[in-house]
Amino acid sequence: MSDILQAIFQRRSIRRYQERAVEREKLEQLLRAAMAAPSAGNGRPWEFVVVTDPATMTQFRQSLKYGNHNAPAAIAVCANLEKASYRNSKAYWVQDCSAAVENILIAAVGLGLGTVWIGIYPRAARVRRLRQILNLPEHVTPLALVYVGYPEAPKEPRTQYDPERVHWERYRS
């Protein structure tokens, strides 16, 4: 099996982390992977806020549903349509930023890190809270928060392949 497929199958949501900081170089590698994601018309509407400050991480844990995990770092994946270079980026920013998130999740495996994707958008209260915590301007919309750290324990690789959900040539009931 290829290394890329192995990384995809190894990618699991990690909710318990070691008490160990993530190196800045590894966080930068995750950002490079994120920005290698495809985007509609190469619009690249994304911006990222990297957080390692323990006080800010505590704010996330205390105020975000599903965010009470002990990760030492987080990456907020946001859309800034004022910086998007494609006029139709408004229509595709969710897909573009989601592709960036997925690249972070898979790249983390290759770096020995674990991640969990915490959905922010389209929940208005979560969007407001992240804007408040990170001082995001109104024209920047957070899609997701990705917690990053060293997993406390390994998880087995898996696929959730289900042939009943695959249709060849045409949809069948």
| 171 falls within a domain | no
Q: Categorize the per-residue pLDDT at 137 as very low, low, confident or very high, splitting at 50, 70 and 90.
A: very high
CATH code of residue 21: 3.40.109.10
Number of domains in the chain: 1
Q: Looking at the domain assignment, is residue 73 inside a domain?
A: yes
Distance CA 39, CA 11 (A): 22
Q: Is-above-0.95 flag for pTM? A: yes
Span 6-61, pLDDT tens digits: 999 999 999 999 999 999 999 999 999 999 999 999 999 999 999 999 999 999 99
Is 172 inside a domain boundary?
no
Query: What range defines the domain where residue 24 resides?
Result: 3-165
